[in-house]
Structure 1
Amino acid sequence: MNARGAMGKYGESLAARRLTEAGLTVLERNWRCGRTGEIDIVARDGDVLVVCEVKTRRANAFEHPMAAVTPEKAARLRQLAENWIHSHGGAPPGGVRIDLVGVLLPHRGAAVVEHAQGVA
């Protein structure tokens, strides 16, 4: 695994911990769907299915992690959510929500983890 991959894995671990601390139940991590792509974290928030995109950046990065979901990326996440639901027996009673967790890694100190609900 390269440094970028390791940073992404670390960010996903921090995101999963943040979601769990917020009361969500992590169902799956890194769920792949053929050519469509990957869902970083699939979780449950009560009776709502949460498809979560995780973006990790270093503090000196050009773009803040929370600005990383473009309209194209949002459309792909919606498609991935539909594929996950189809392969796992149907939609939950509370529907589906797409969230973003941004992880900012400073040069020193603790990472900053932000969770935005319903981004797409």
Structure 2
Amino acid sequence: MRAKDALGQSGEQVAADYLEDRGIRVIDSNWRCSSGEIDIVALDGQELVIVEVKTRRSRRYGDPLEAITRAKLLRLRTLAVLWAREHNRVIGSLRIDAVGIIMDRAQEPSIDHVRGVA
């Protein structure tokens, strides 16, 4: 596995643990289809939450959250509908969240969680 992929996978696990610790139940991860990928699918009460996770080793090239484009956020809405259709779920309320993680080897991960980015 490439170092970048391993970092991303580690970041997604950190994000999932962080969300679970805050009462947001992770129900799927790394869901893929021909239109793209959803990092984390979760439930916050009855609300379906689609979570985009960006992980970096440092802020040297900017904050991880800056890498989430408007186009990506629009694609996540489409992916949410496709995920719900495949899993026979009705979307009552949908929220798109972003989690940015800095995983500096010398420190505990730094986590920024932004609710409702789109």
TM over 0.5: yes
1:85 aligns with 2:84: yes
- The number of residue pairs the alignment matches comes to 118
Equivalent pair of 1:43/1:50 in contact (CA under 8 Å): yes
Deviations 1:34-55 (A, max 9, x none): 2x11100000000000000000
User: Structure 1: how far apart are the matches of 2:51 and 2:5?
Assistant: 18
Name the residue aligned to 1:115.
Answer: 113
User: Structure 1: how far apart are the matches of 2:94 and 2:59?
Assistant: 34
TM-score by length of 1: 0.92
Deviations 1:48-88 (A, max 9, x none): 00000000011143121111211111111111011111112
TM-score by length of 2: 0.94
Equivalent pair of 2:65/2:100 in contact (CA under 8 Å): yes
1:21 aligns with 2:21: yes
Name the residue aligned to 1:46.
Answer: 45
Name the residue aligned to 2:102.
Answer: 104
Percent identity at matched positions? 44
1:118 counterpart SS class: coil
User: Structure 2: how far apart are the matches of 1:6 and 1:101?
Assistant: 17
Unaligned residue ranges in structure 2 (runs of 5+): none
Question: Post-superposition shift, 1:106?
Answer: 2.2
CA RMSD in angstroms comes to 1.2
User: Structure 2: how far apart are the matches of 1:9 and 1:49?
Assistant: 22
Unaligned residue ranges in structure 1 (runs of 5+): none
